[in-house]
Structure formats: C-alpha cells, structure tokens
Structure 1
Amino acid sequence: MKPHNPDRVPKDVYLSFVSSLSGNRMTLLAGVIVHSATFLAVAAKTQSPVYIFLAVAVILVFCARMAIFRLFDKVNKDALTFAEIERWEKILVVGAAGITTLLGIGSGYAIFFTRDSFAELACIAVTMATMVSVVGRNYGSRMAVDLQTFSCCLPMIICSVMTLDFYRGILSVFLIPFWLTTRAMATGVREFLYENVIARREIASIADRFDTALSNMPHGLVMVDEENRIQVINRKACELLKIGAPDRLKDRDLGAVLRYGARYSFMDASQPELILRQLTQVAEGSLSRTLIHFPEALSLEFSASRRADGGAVLIFEDVSTRVKAEQKILHMVRFDALTGLPNREYFGHLVQDYLARQSKKRGPLGFMILDIDEFKHVNDMRGHVTGDHLLCAIAMRVREMAGSAIVGRLMGDQFILFFPHARDRQVLDASIRKLHAAIQGQYEVDEITFLVSLSAGYAVLESDAFAMDEWSVKADLALFESKSRLKGGITGFEHEMDGRYIEQQKLKADLREAVAANALHLMFQPMFKADGTRIECAEALARWVHPEKGSIPPDVFIRLAEEMGIISQITRFVLFKACEECMNWPDHIAVSVNLSARDLRDADILSVVSDALAHSGLEASRLHLEITESSLIDEPAVVRAILAELRSRDITIAIDDFGTGFSSLSYLDTLPLDIVKIDRSFVRNIVEDTRRLKLLRGTVHLARELGLKIVVEGVETHEQLVLLNKYRSTDLIQGYVFSPPVPSKEIGILSQALNRRTAPRRRSKVA
C-alpha cells in the first residue's frame, strides 16, 4: 500500500510523517559537531578560510533549525489543516537542506579548488555518511529526501566535471544511482511505516469495536484456553457471576475464579463444579445448552463451543425474566386464576403422580365433588365481585380443612378432592363427612355474612380400581343424588347409582336416534293480546315421546341434548318445522323459536334461519327468535353481532325469561332487542305481594321507555290477568289463563274462535 499524496493521506498519518522531520535531535547535535570539526580540521590542513566560514555556517543553520523545532513543538497539532502541515513540512525541509547544501559545497570545493587528498576524503566521507542518515531521519517526506540528496550531490558532480578529469567524472556519475538508491530506500521505509500505521489503526479500531461489543453485549462471554485459563472475559460475565473486574481475571483458572465466587459471592458451593461439568458437556456436544438456577432468583442459560486450539467459548445470559414468565404461565395453565387451586387437568396430574409414587401401597382412596348451593343467587343479588370473594373464601377453607387431601377446582362453583390411602373404608368415610361438615356454615365476605351450604358426592374405592374419569362419574352421580334429596347433604356412591347412570346413557342414545330421525314434534303456546281478543304469536315448544318411557319432560331432554352437543340439530328441526306450520296460520300470527347458547356461538345460525325461511316461504317479519341471558355470558360481542344481523333481516328478537339472570337490565340497552319476555317468577305472587307487583311495573316501565314490547309469561289465574290489565303492565299474555301449549292446527281454530267472539262486538259498535 503506497501512501497517498498529502491531500488524500489521513491527516494524522501525514502529520506524524512531518513530525518525524523534527525528531532525533541528539543525532543532529552529534552531526553538527562532526560537520564543524571536519571543516575546521580541513581549514587547518589547507589553510583555507572557506572551511572556517562553512563551519560557522553549519552551527548557525543548526541553531536556526533548533529554533524552528521549538516553534513547531508549540503548535496545536490537532488544529492544523492539511495546508498548514504542508507549510511546516517545507520549512523543516529547507532547514535540513541547508546542512546538506553546506556539506555539498565543502566537498565540491575540496575537489576542484584545494585538490588536497585529506580535504577531499574528509569532506566526501562526512557528506556520504550524512546522506545515509537522511533515510533514517527524513523518510517521512519525499521532498526532504529529494532536496537533501540533490543539494549535496549537485556541487560534487559540478566540481568533478570542472576538473576535466575523466575518472573523477566517472565517479561523479555514480552519485546519480546513489541518489536514486537513497530515494528508493526512503520511499520503502515510508511505505512500510505507512502500511503499519494504517494496519495498526485498523487493528486498534477493530479492537476498540470488539471491546465495545464485549462490554455492551447482553450476554456474558468467557474464552478459556486448553488448560481452562481465562483469556477473554467481558464485563457482563463478571456482573452476572459477581467475580470481580475483567482486567484482574486474565490468565486465571476459570474453576478457581468460580470457586472464589462461591466463597465470597452469592453462588452455592456446588455450583462452580456444576458449571464446569456442564460446560464440558455442552462443549462436547452432549448438551446443546443448560439452565442453572442461582440464589437471589437468578437463572443463567449457558452454551459453549470448543475452539480449534483446544480452548472453549462460554456464553451465558440472564433468563430470569423469561424463567419467571414461564413459571407464571405454567402456574396459569395449572392453577385456577381466581382461587389458586389446581385446575381439573393439573389435579388429575397430581393424583396420578401420587399413585405412581405410592404404587405399592394398598388401601381405600376417596374422591369427592363439592357443589355450592344456590351460588348463582349470590352473583345475582350481590354481584360477581362479591361472588368471587365468597368463592375464594370457601376455597381457602376447603384447602385448610382438607389436610393431606389434594384439592382442585372442577368448574364454576364446584370443587374436587382426592383423599390418599386410609386405614379402612370406615375411617376414610368418616374423614370425608367430617370435612364436609367443617366447610359448611357462615362466611364473612365484604362485610356481609353468608350462610353457605355445599352439596357433596363422593366415592370410596380400592386403589387398584382407580380410574379418574370413572371415579369422577361416580362422585358426580352421588352429588346428583345429594342435590335431588336435600341441599347441603352428602351422599356416598352406591352401585345402584350405576344403574341409573346406565339408564341415562341409554336415554341419551335414544335421544340421538330420535333427533336424527326427526322423531320430535312441536306444540305451540299462543301469546294473546292483553284483553285476550287476538293471538299475535305462538311459541314453538319441542316435545319428545319415548317409545317405552312415554313423554320425556323438555327440561330433561333439552339438558341432555346440550350435554351431548346436539342441541343445534334440535334448533334446526324446530326452525324448519315451526316456519312450515306458521304458513298454515292466519297472516297476522307470528311464530317464536328459542335459540340455545350453543346456537349463538358462531354465525352458522344465520344460514340455518335463512334456509328455514326460504324453505317454508315465510316472511322474516313473522319469525321471532328468543334468547336467554345464559347465552350472552360466554361471548357477548359475538352474540351481539349475530343478533344485529338477524334483526337487520326484519326478524324480531326477544329476550326470554327476563329477570332471572345476573345482570338483566344491562341487556336492555346494549342488545338489539324488540321484545322482553318477563319470567313467570315475577308474576307468581303479584296478587298477594305488592312489592312484587311494583318490581314488575318498574321493569315494564323501563322496557317501554326503551321502546320494547312486553310479554308476560306464566299468567295462570284470572286475578293475575286483571291486575296486569289494570296497570297496563303487558302487551301480550302467555299462560294457561288463556291457553296451554296446543298442536299447530289448534292455533288456527283458536284464532277463528276469537274472531267469531269479537265479531258481534264490532257489529254492535258499528250499529
């Protein structure tokens, strides 16, 4: 690499070359002494005053150069521009050329004028020696080398030629190659130094960047040689391992450093050897990486690789945040977020883990399910926040009283418990019942006292007969038995319950076949105007007559259908059949169909409704769709979007059983509704209980303020009807006071009968 001209050479490099012209000043002093002494000796030998003059001139030039050097030393080098550096180069070169010019003149004068052999030898020898030193002192400036060589050689060449001596002329010509050689040597030195300066700068820059990267990288890094001595260690590694400053650890044994950290820092005594052992395993490829947990909640993940020279590179990072996040996620996956109890899946894992550890142990095991009685009413009356607090309080008491039992949250307001091996069945049975009794009673939550009862079902079986799903079913059967007998009771599983369970499973299979074969049929309960003069709508009600068991109550087979996931098939059947039947009724009568929570979980219901209307030819305005509050709990945004789409198609939307949910009033304003069907529980005691009547009237008033139509369900007595009409508390009446559910053909007959009954009234009014 050749140095560029001053305009392109880096300024600091150019300045260093120029500065070299003022260096090595002691050699200049030695030189001026030799030069002046030589000239004085020649003057004494030849008796020529010229050499006395030259000796004095050499001393004066030396003094001038020293003065220039002092001025150059005082200059602020960092502030110099290229032009200023070049000007200083010329000044320094001129001073150096002054000495060589005097030497050249002295040598030339000795050759031509004195013709004294001593004078020639002395002057030429000193001059040539000085020329050799030009390479060592003035390599930094091509101008200096050229000017000094030219200024000393030219007088000798001219004087040699002037002697008209052939051999002297030949010798003088040889000065030209000497000049060129000197010039080439200086250029070579300059280029070599230039290349080294540039290389050193690049190495320094790379080293600085490497050091910066090491110091700022988020990972700890340690490089060791084949004997495990530390060659490189960055600041992050020292901070993470708390083992001192990096500059103090060079060439130290890594094991000794780690053991020192274990002795005086936060590491356990076993961890240095663990790190070294796993470092070896990672480096050998038996481990890709390893995670080591330290005190103070620090987790470091290590990886290592073997180097070609036998050493290794160890890289590690602080993954404490990630580990904490993973632990938190794992806790969220395994434990119930509200109560902190294991969820059903992790509960099963804990039970299986216990059985695996105690596989050789024999004895009875217990499995119990707890269900909080009437917990829904707590949410309805006190709100979900208080309900959650109560649930947590119950969970805490269950966990405290459970002893060695494993406790989990099954779902909603149910808990599940596993009782480990007991001495005999009687002892375990007594323990389970004692626990059930202990968790009943009063709970203080949000400054409110709740009297809580929990129904329980449990099963006690031998450990070799354990199967999680089977035991869960048995305990659930026992729980169902408890709730059907007396709330707050506890029932142990009995084998007779299996028969009932098998019977229920058979009933499910029969229901699946009935739905697949469209073996259900519909009844319709009409909705009358408040004065009973006209049928406005009829609600489609699914009915199932079992070939062996007879009529199955709707609440039984609908619940089974929801458990089996076939409720949407029933909804489709009811929609298609109801729309067909409605086409046989008078045009002013609409049909109402109930949608389940499952129906509203996705947009498939939109196509089902469209297909039913298209298949029957029924106008969309004659179709009413009823939803319950329970269908709004899981995904309210999805349900709202589906209802809005249905309503935009001119289908009427009604909310059924209004007043039984946990936040009924909020739905009136947020959902796309047309009709509110008030639950029969509002009507049951309105004649005897004035507060119930006021509550009903307030709800009706609120709904009407929002532009909603009112349907009151479950009106059974004439007194209830009179009271509702007196206060104009409804638009439509649905109940036995007017009609029970009837077959489809009866709707038309009832409508005709009402028309005949009201016709004389209309004629009398006209008359």
Structure 2
Amino acid sequence: MQLVDPKKRGSRREEPEPALYAALVDSMCQNFWPMFIGSVSTAVAAVLTALKTGNVLLWPCAALIIGIGTLRAFQMRKYERRTQVLTFEQAKHWEPRYAIGAMVYASVLGVWCFLTIFGNDDAIAHMICVAATVGYTAGGAARNYGRPKLIQYHILLACGPMSLALATHADFFYISLAALLALFFMGLKGINLSLHAIFVKALTSSFREAALAGQFDTALNNMPHGLCMFRADGRLAVMNHRFSEMMNLSEDLIQRSASANDIVAACIASNSISAASGKMILSEIVNTQARDMITTDPDVARGRSLSWTFQAMEGGGAVVLVEDITERRNAEARISHLARYDELTALPNRVNFRDEIGRLLAVQQGAEQLSALLFVDLDQFKQVNDTLGHPCGDQLLCAVSERLREMLRPEDFVARFGGDEFVVFQQNVHSPDDAAGLARRIVDRLSERYKIDNHLVEIGASVGIAMTSRGVSADTLLKNADMALYRAKADGRGTFCFFRDEMAQVVESRRILELDLRKALANEEFELFFQPLVNLKSGRISTCEALLRWNHPVRGTVSPTDIIPVAEDMGLIVDLGRWILRKACMECMKWPEGVSVAVNFSPQQFHQRDVLSEVRYAIEVSGLPANRLEIEITESSLLRNTQLTHDVLSQLHSLGVRISLDDFGTGYSSLSYLHNFPLQKVKIDRSFLEGIDSDRPLTLLRGVARLSADLGMSVVVEGIETNEQLELISADGAVTEAQGYLFSPPVPAVRVRQLLNASHGRRPPDSQLIPVSSRSIA
C-alpha cells in the first residue's frame, strides 16, 4: 500500500499512503506521560551527576534537558487534546516538530554523557548517565516504532558520544561496556524495525478490512433486494436498509439482534405480509432449505408482490433475500394481455380468438349444438384513413367494436382479427336464419353514421358466415368464413353470404392457378402476341402492342384478364412484367427500323423502385433504341404518389422512351393528366365507339382527340372493327393511329413479322391479311 510516483521511484525514499502515514505520526505524538516521566527522570540524573562530579559544565546540560524535555512533553499534551482525527496534512505539520525536538534532545543527552564520562573517573556518575541514557533510548525505541529513522538518529546522537567516551578510558571493563552497548544499540535498532513492520502490517490489514467492510456495507445497503442473515441460533446477524424499508421495520430490531420470530412478527405487524405468509417464511428460515416463494401484500390497494429466496449457510443459519416484483408481474400481465388482446379496441385478438374458438368447438363436439362464425370486414374504411388520418380511423374502429358488443349476447364472442376485420362466434343458434339475422343487423348497424372528431363518417360492412358441423376445426371454420366474405364483397359489398362447398372449389382452383403461374414464370412458358397499330396517314404499321399469352397444358389458352389479377395478388407481376419488357425489346430488334413496340406496365410494376434500371437494362441487353420503346400506363398509375410518378415519367422521357396513356376514358379521364405529365400518346378506349353513329358520342370522341392533338400528342383509338368506325374517327384528321380487329387481331411473333414485311414493302406475307376498309396496309 504505497503511494509512489513511478517517475520518481528510486530518486527518493518511498512514502506510505496518507492514511498510514497519519497513523504512524499519531503513534509517536500521543505519549505525554511516558515522555514527561522520562524527561523528569533524565533531568534528575543530570543534576545528580553535576552534584557528584562537581563539573560546572554539566549544569547547563541539566538545564537544557529539563527545559527541552518539558517543552516536548507539553507539546504532546497539546497534541492529545485535539478532537479531530489526524489528517495527512496535519501529520505533515506535526512530524517535523516532533523530529526536531527529538534530535535536539538526543544531542543534549550525548553532550551530557560525554562530559560526564570523558576525563572523569567517578564510577557512580558514569553509571547514572549510562543507565539514564540507555533507558531513555530503549523507551524511545518503543515509542518511535512509527518512524525508525528517529531512533537511529537518537542512538547516533545520544549513545554514540557516550560509547566513545567509555572507549577513551584505558580500562578493559569500560571498553567492554562500550562494545556491549554498541551491540545492545544494534539489537535495539532491529527491535525497533520489527515493531515498525508489525505495526505497518497491522495498520494496513486494518485499513483493508475497513475498506472492504465499507464497500460491503455500501453494496449491501444499495442493492435492490432486501437481505436478512440469521445465525445458527436464529438471531439476526445482518439486515440491510432495503429490507427494513420494504418491511417498514424499526432500527431497534437491528440494534438488539432480534430473533427470526421477532422479525417475522414485526413484518406482520407492519402489514407487509400476512400471518399465513409469516408462518411459511419462519418455517423456511428454521428448516434452512433453499427454495423460493412469492407473497402478496395484505393491503389490496398497494397490491405488492414480493419474491422470497431462502438459502442455508455453512455452519447453520440462513440468508433471506426479498425482491419487490410488483412492477415485473404487472409488466408480465400487461405483456400477456397485449399478446391476447387488441390494444386499440380491447377486444380479443386473433390468437386469443383462435384458442377460444378451438376450446368452444371441443366442448360442442359431444353435444348437438349449432354455432356460426361471422367474418366482418368494413367497407370504405381505407378512405377514412386516407382522408381523415389514422387517429380518426382508430376512433372509428373503437366505435365499431362498441356497436358489435352492444348487438351480441353474453355467450357470443367477438374479436378484432386485424386491420378492419372483426370476427363473431355466435353460439347456440337454432338455424342458419339466426346467423343471417345477426349478420343483417351487423351490416345495418355498422352502416349507420359515425361522428368522429366533428366529422360525419359513413362506412359499410360485408359479412361472411360459416356454420359449424361435426368435427370441423377452428382453422377450417375461419377459412370458410373468409371465403364467404370474399364472395360477399365480390357481390357488391354491404351484404352477407353463407359459405358453400363450391366456394372451396373456386379457392382451390385459384390456388392451383397460382402454383401453375409460378411454374410457368420459372420455366418461361409464356408467349408474346403482338397487335399492330396502324398510322392512318401512311397506312403502315407504326407500333405493335405486346400482349401476354399462356397456353396451359390443361386449361388451354388462359386469358390475360385471368393472369394479370392473379399475378398482381401474388406479387409476381413485377417479375412477369420484367420478362415481357425484355422479350418485347428483343423481338422489336427483328422488325423494320420504323416500327416501335408498346409494352403495358401495371401500377405495381411502374411504382417499383428500380423501374428505371429495368428499362435501361432491357434497352441495353436488346440493343433497341430508346425511341422505339413505348410504355403504356393507365390512369391508376398516375393516381399514386403523383410527384414520384411525374419524376419517373420525366426520367423515362429523357431516355427517349415514349409514354402512352392507355384506356383513356374508362377511369376519371382527368384532362389534367394530359397537361401535367410528360405523355406522348393517348389511347382512347374502345368504349367511346359505342353509339358512335350518333352525334353525342362522336362529338365527345373527336373533342378528346382534338384536345390531345393540340397538346402535341398522338391519338390512338382502340377497338376498330368496321370500316364505318374507321371512317368516322379519321374524318377530321385528329386521330393519328388506330388499333383493332379490322386491321389484325393479336398474332404470334412470327406472324407479326410477316405483317410488318408486307406493311413496309419487304416481301408479300404468306397469306393475304388486308384490313377490310378503304385503306390498306401498304
């Protein structure tokens, strides 16, 4: 335990640490009476030698011994009257004063002994001064073990002159005495050093034990657990503050080492534990078996839970640990509740409902009871979230859950299944009519207006119903109700539908179609057909639209209207669209240079993050010039994230890719699209051709075509099937291109090459395919 600067080690002696240094100085400076008696005795001896020898020089020595000894004694008296513990700084102040006094006193003793012995043959005087000096030196060695250097200087200054004076006598016995005294002083020095080492070791151990005890006490009283330690006789050995605080105990129990019975009785009296719990705790302390137990607080309002741990000690006795686990148990209860209940509506969640329905169905297996499961989905709920925000949507869900609770009987069970879906289990119904009646009431009640944050909100509800049957499982019941709900929503929403067996067949057919679709995409079993777009001025094919075809080995030719929705639901439309884009670009490279290819992009495909990268890659791999690629998008692609859509279209346009608005007239048909987005072509839907022989539809079509043309865009009319339709749309010259069966149906890649060769005068087609019109494909 040395505090030494490593840089100065070896340059000066090592100093003990401050606390030890102060203790060593304190051991020297608190001996008033021994020092006072020693000083008086030595002064008397000095006076006696002066009287006995008649040497006048000894009287000043005696006076100095008396004066210095008295001053030192009273200096120690002043030290002992201090009330504070000696600090390191104070010790540094007191040690030099003590050391200087000791050195001066030893020097006077040495002069006195030398004057008494040297040149004087009075044996009595010699004996007096030798005995007094040796005795005082021995006492100093015992007193100054704290600083061994002091006793070494004392021997040198006081006893050195005395031994030197004895050696000057030409007498054997005097010389022998001087030698013996030298050996005695060496032994005295060794004893002093041993005492110093013992004292330092004892102090060091004491400091370490005190520090360890302090650390243990700090840790004990700052630990989160309450702790009690009982000896083998059942008396209290240790109790930390945390235990006394938790049990509301007095300090008196700790001070008088109360028994385990007293401690437990005090815990019961403070209402911290019940009497029954106290008996169990006392039994565990007595039996000293390692185990755990949990007690609940008798005060219900406080609702505290305590965890007790008992551990036997070697040699008898027990250690008791107490932890307040109230917050942990409350948190566990809340986590358990959140795991089984919806936090927003406080209704049972999907997991809870699934377990409860399984239990109820198991109970009903032995009885002929009929129950119904109603799957409820809210209509137009997404619009509320999008227009009023999610907080209003949350309030609406809470209002819906309250209405559902009001309509149900106590034995019925309702849960929030997720999002805007709820499920109701209606027990003990007499017939499906009871379930239909409840479903009708749910649809009507949930369709009534809601007042949410001063907003009047109207939504609807659709319900799918599945009736229980013998042996049906909860999963099957939920699946059947979900299929019935899907059918109810397909029938127009705001209604209910019972599950029927053929619905399962439809779902199974859909599932098989999905599997086949994945396999077809992986094996590239699809084929691209192309339908020409004819330029009405030149009469030539200007563009061919790529259309997907799938010749299923069992189903035969599958329509794109069946493929695309399924691919979108499965998330395969992006991969499928990527394949179509690359295949179409590679096929276009086989056509005449003036012919472009048009590829339809679904909204999902268009809004993927890497749509630009996919278009660039398809162009680079195929080598197709960007201006020969035309991307057709629908209005639904423009509705989502307008700014991002505008940015993507602008970047595609900067690449040279042309953008076409497909099926214009079937959606909102907002004219702002034509102005706000970088479009090069508008394709007017075939629905505009219905009743075109009358003035109104024809005027509308020509107005849209003229507006688009004035904005610098090409205009295409789809679905041309007769010469009359062709003549009507091309009369005013606003329509630039036409597409339809009048010119050609969608044909395979080989056939479209023949048509292109014929259209561009390369060589005649294998078979004559001339549109039935006044115009022809040149």
Classify 1:501/1:303 alpha carbon distance in 2 versus 1 (closer, same or farther; 3 Å). same
Candidates 711, 718, 722, aligned match of 2:702: 722
Q: Which residue of the partner structure matches residue 700 of structure 1?
A: 674
* Partner residue in 1 for 2:645: 667
Contact residue 369 and residue 428 of structure 2 kept, 8 A: yes
Structure 2 unaligned residues grouped into runs of 5+: 5-9, 693-697, 721-737, 761-769
CA distance in 1, matches of 2:212, 2:91: 27
User: Equivalents in 2 of 1:268, 1:600: separation in Å?
Assistant: 70
1:722 maps to amino acid: R
1:736 to 696, 702, 719: 719
Residues 758, 364 of structure 1: alpha-carbon distance in 2 compared, 3 angstrom cutoff: closer
Are positions 1:88 and 2:71 aligned together?
no
Residues 1:348 and 2:354 aligned together: yes
Distance 1:313 1:549 in 2: 77
Distance 2:350 2:413 in 1: 11
The letter of the residue matching 1:457 is: G
1:448, distance to aligned residue in structure 2 (A): 3.4
Structure 1: how far apart are the matches of 2:424 and 2:605? 34
Number of residues paired by the alignment?
712
Summarize the alignment of residues 221-232 of structure 1 with structure 2, pairs less than 5 Å apart: 222=227, 224=229
CA distance in structure 2 between the aligned counterparts of 1:194 and 1:95, rounded to whole angstroms? 27
**Cα drift, residue 182 of structure 1:** 1.7
After the TM superposition, which residues 332-731 of structure 1 pair with which residues of structure 2 at under 5 Å, given as runs?
A: 344-345=350-351, 347-352=353-358, 363-375=369-381, 390-391=396-397, 393-402=399-408, 404-410=411-417, 413-420=420-427, 427=434, 430-462=437-469, 464-468=471-475, 470-501=476-507, 522-524=528-530, 537-543=543-549, 554-563=560-569, 567=573, 570-571=576-577, 574-575=580-581, 578-579=584-585, 582-583=588-589, 585-595=591-601, 618-619=624-625, 621-625=627-631, 655-658=633-636, 661=639, 664=642, 667-669=645-647, 672=651, 674=653, 680=663, 682=665, 696-704=670-678, 710-714=682-686, 715-716=688-689, 717=692, 718-728=698-708, 731=714
C-alpha distance in structure 2 between counterparts of 1:727 and 1:549, whole Å: 44
Question: SS in structure 2 opposite 1:441?
Answer: coil
- When residues 234 and 682 of structure 1 are mapped into structure 2, their CA distance, relative to the original with a 3 A threshold, is farther
Task: Measure, in 2, the Cα distance between the counterparts of 1:605 and 1:425.
Answer: 51
Structure 1 position 440, deviation (Å):
2.9
Q: Residue 638 of structure 1 aligns with which residue?
A: none
Q: What amino acid is the match of 2:700?
A: Q
Q: Distance in 2 between matches of 1:655 and 1:149?
A: 113
The range that moved more, 161-170 or 25-34, is 161-170
Structure 1 Cα separation of the partners of residues 614 and 384 of structure 2? 37
Matches within 5 A, 1:113-512: 113-115=121-123, 126-149=132-155, 153=159, 157=163, 165-208=171-214, 220=225, 222=227, 224=229, 241=246, 264=270, 324=331, 344-345=350-351, 347-352=353-358, 363-375=369-381, 390-391=396-397, 393-402=399-408, 404-410=411-417, 413-420=420-427, 427=434, 430-462=437-469, 464-468=471-475, 470-501=476-507
Partners in 2 of 1:449 and 1:532 — Cα distance? 58
Q: Which moved more, 1:138-147 or 1:206-215?
A: 206-215
AA in 1 matched with 2:634 = D
Identity %: 24
Preserved CA contact (<8 Å) 1:525 1:734: no
Deviation, 1:465, is 1.8
**Native 8 Å contact 1:336 1:409 kept in 2:** yes
Task: Check the 8 A contact 1:64/1:95 in 2, yes or no.
Answer: no
Q: Give the Cα–Cα distance (whole angstroms) in 1 for the partners of residues 236 and 535 of structure 2.
A: 95
**Aligned partner letter, 1:364:** L
- After superposing the two structures, state which structure 1 stretch, 271-280 or 421-430, moved more: 271-280
Would you say the 8 A contact 1:145–1:183 is kept in 2? Answer: yes
> How far is the alpha carbon of 1:458 from its aligned partner?
0.7
Q: Which amino acid aligns with 1:656?
A: T
Shift of 1:364: 2.6
In structure 2, do the counterparts of structure 1 residues 243 and 381 end up closer, same or farther at CA, with 3 Å as the change threshold?
closer
Q: 1:411 to 1:174 in 2, by over 3 A?
A: closer
CA deviation map 1:565-598 (0-9, x unaligned): 6656754664465446545654334333345577
Q: Give the 3-state SS of the residue equivalent to 2:15 in structure 1.
A: coil
2:16 aligned with 1:10: yes
Q: Give the drift of 1:416.
A: 3.0
State the Cα distance separating 1:380 from its structure 2 match: 6.7
Q: Give distance in 1, aligned partners of 2:271 and 2:412.
A: 41
Identify the residue that residue 733 of structure 2 maps to in structure 1.
none
Displacement after TM superposition at 1:24 (Å):
1.2
Counterpart of 1:587, as a letter, is E
Distance 2:310 2:607 in 1: 52
Aligned counterparts of 2:249 and 2:449: Cα–Cα separation in 1: 60
Higher mean displacement: 507-516 or 201-210? 507-516
Distance 1:698 1:424, change over 3 A: closer
The offset of 1:696, in angstroms, is 2.3
Note the C-alpha offset of 1:185. 1.3
Match of 2:34? 27
SS of the residue corresponding to residue 592 of structure 1 reads strand
> Quick one: which amino acid aligns to residue 483 of structure 1?
K
1:735 corresponds to which letter in structure 2? E
Counterpart residue type for residue 657 of structure 1: E
1:285-311 CA distance string (max 9 Å, x none): x89x99999997989999998776676
Q: Secondary structure at the match of 2:677?
A: helix
Residues 384, 579 of structure 1: alpha-carbon distance in 2 compared, 3 angstrom cutoff: farther
Correspondence for 1:689: none
Q: Secondary structure at the match of 1:364?
A: coil
Quick check: 406-415 or 228-237, which moved more? 228-237
Equivalence map 1:747-762=2 (5 Å):
748=756
* 1:696-745, Cα deviation, whole Å (9 max, x unpaired): 223322225xx776555454343332011332365433532543472135
Q: Which moved more, 1:552-561 or 1:475-484?
A: 552-561
Q: Is the CA contact (8 Å cut-off) linking 1:371 and 1:415 kept in structure 2?
A: yes
TM-score by length of 1: 0.71
Task: Return closer, same or farther for 1:520/1:382 CA change in 2, 3 Å cut-off.
Answer: farther
Offset from partner CA, 1:362-409 (integer Å, 9 cap, x none): 623322222333445556766777656545543453355445544444
Tell me the equivalent position of 1:647. Answer: none
2-structure distance, mates of 1:734, 1:259: 97
Q: Contact conserved, 2:373 with 2:465, CA < 8 A, in 1?
A: yes
Q: Is the 8 A contact 2:163 2:182 kept in 1?
A: no
Distance 1:709 1:406, change over 3 A: farther
How far 1:658 sits from its partner (Å)? 3.2
Partner of 2:670: helix, strand, or coil? Answer: helix
Matched-pair contact (CA < 8 Å) for 2:638–2:645: no
3-state SS in 1 of match to 2:400: helix
Residue type matched to 1:724 in 2?
V
**Alpha-carbon distance in 1 for matches of 2:40, 2:225:** 62
Report if aligned partners of 1:363, 1:424 keep a CA contact under 8 Å in 2: no
CA RMSD of aligned residues (A): 5.8
- Pair 229,655 (structure 1): closer, same or farther in 2 beyond 3 Å: farther
Alignment check: 8 A CA contact 2:65 2:109 kept: no
* Partner AA of 2:188 in structure 1: T
SS at 1:465 equivalent:
coil
TM normalised by structure 2 equals 0.70
